[in-house]
């Protein structure tokens, strides 16, 4: 009899008892609540966003003022309640995401390599909690740190920089997601078998050679997944970018580095600004919240799907 058969037989003897049914019911309810909550949010976003667009408004029984989907996704002016060009918000979001990646990826991977390959157990036991503390700082504190400390430094180098700018927002968001990159990458590197390291040392490789030429390639799927998950976190960041980047919606050239010296309004901050303004539940500006939300959800969902694909496609099993 195989191990699986023995396990099934032992489980069958107790699964009908009250002690087994109650925990199973509890865990099923927990899973069901998670699924229902997620589905409800998606349905709400999709339904309310549909009312925003003229092309789908009749499907949900709404008659009134609407916005064409092409105008929403292709125009660059965002001035509710007259103009709803989401590209102005998307450009700021892309710039902040790319800028934060430039900060977080090298520092996060470097931290992970140090923790996995160089740090002593004592140093690792101190650095791990420090990373967790960094991840636990309220995001609004990061925003004020950017305005008070980082922006003056940037203005000292580039005097034309505004008081609110994407550079400082990108830096603080990058600092915020370093723990995520470092922690997930370090876990992936620690999962690499010690035999691979010893094989590298046996061929005369240095610790640096083993870390960069053996461990990092072997843990690549986990490292790349950490990048994408961290960038998804950066895209959804709200308070830090609301404080640091300003509230002026404008379309910026994502290929021009000088765009980082200007203030802009990313998608999450635009939603906060709309919520704090005098909008009504039936107005076009109010419904634009859901249009932004479903767009943001689609972007983060796509990134998570890509992360899962990469993790499955390039996962090494030892």
Task: Give the tokens for residue 231.
Answer: 């960038």
**Residue, of 59 and 305, whose pLDDT is higher:** 305
* 23-73 pLDDT per residue, tens: 888 999 999 999 999 899 999 888 888 888 764 444 444 445 567 788 888
Distance CA 302, CA 229 (A): 11
3 state SS of 56: coil
The per-residue b/e assignment along 2-15, b for 16 or more CB within 10 angstroms, e otherwise, is eeeeeeeeeeeeee
Distance CA 171, CA 179 (A): 14
Q: How many residues does the chain have?
A: 318
Q: How far apart are the first and last CA of the chain?
A: 27
Distance CA 294, CA 42 (A): 8
This prediction has a pTM of: 0.83
For a pLDDT cut of 70, what percent of the chain falls above it?
87
Q: 78-313: what fold?
A: MetI-like fold (1.10.3720)
- How many Cβ atoms sit within 10 Å of the Cβ of residue 280? 8
Going by pLDDT thresholds of 50, 70 and 90, the confidence category of residue 79 is confident
Going by pLDDT thresholds of 50, 70 and 90, the confidence category of residue 91 is very high
Closest CA to 264 of 65, 67, 91: 91
* 152-190 pLDDT per residue, tens: 999 999 999 888 999 999 999 999 999 999 999 998 998
Q: Hunting for tokens 């901050």 — which residue is that?
A: 269
Q: Is the pLDDT of residue 104 over 80?
A: yes
Q: Is the pLDDT of residue 221 over 80?
A: yes
Average pLDDT, the chain: 84
**Residue, of 63 and 207, whose pLDDT is higher:** 207
Tell me which DSSP letter residue 107 carries: H
Q: Count how many Cα atoms sit within 13 Å of the Cα of residue 139 in the half-sphere of its side chain.
A: 17
pLDDT of residue 97: 93
Distance CA 166, CA 188 (A): 32
Q: Is the pLDDT of residue 276 over 90?
A: no
């Amino acid at each position: 009899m195989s191990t699986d058969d023995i396990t099934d037989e032992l489980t069958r003897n107790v699964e009908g008892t009250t002690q087994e049914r109650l925990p199973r019911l509890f865990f099923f309810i927990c899973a069901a609540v998670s699924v229902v909550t997620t589905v409800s949010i998606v349905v709400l976003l999709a339904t309310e966003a549909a009312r925003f667009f003229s092309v789908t408004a009749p499907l949900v029984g709404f008659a009134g003022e609407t916005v064409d989907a092409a105008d929403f996704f292709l125009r660059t002016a965002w001035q509710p309640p007259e103009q709803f060009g989401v590209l102005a918000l998307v450009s700021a979001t892309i710039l902040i995401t790319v800028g934060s990646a430039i900060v977080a990826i090298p520092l996060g991977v470097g931290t992970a390599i140090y923790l996995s390959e160089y740090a002593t157990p004592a140093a690792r036991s101190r650095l791990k909690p420090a990373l967790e503390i960094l991840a636990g700082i309220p995001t609004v504190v990061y925003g004020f740190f950017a305005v008070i400390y980082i922006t003056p430094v940037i203005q000292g180098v580039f005097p034309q920089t505004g008081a609110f700018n994407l550079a400082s927002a990108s830096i603080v968001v990058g600092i915020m997601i370093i723990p995520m990159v470092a922690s997930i990458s370090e876990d992936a590197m620690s999962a690499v078998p010690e035999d691979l390291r010893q094989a590298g040392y046996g061929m005369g490789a240095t610790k640096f050679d083993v870390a960069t030429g053996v461990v990092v390639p072997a843990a690549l799927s986990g490292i790349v997944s950490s990048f994408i998950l961290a960038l998804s976190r950066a895209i959804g960041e709200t308070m830090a970018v609301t404080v640091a980047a300003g509230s002026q919606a404008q379309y910026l050239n994502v290929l021009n580095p000088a765009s980082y010296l200007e203030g802009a309004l990313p998608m999450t901050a635009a939603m906060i600004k709309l919520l704090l303004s005098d909008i009504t539940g039936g107005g076009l500006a109010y419904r634009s919240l859901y249009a932004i939300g479903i767009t943001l959800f689609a972007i983060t969902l796509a990134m998570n799907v890509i992360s899962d694909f990469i993790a499955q496609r390039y996962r090494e099993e030892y």
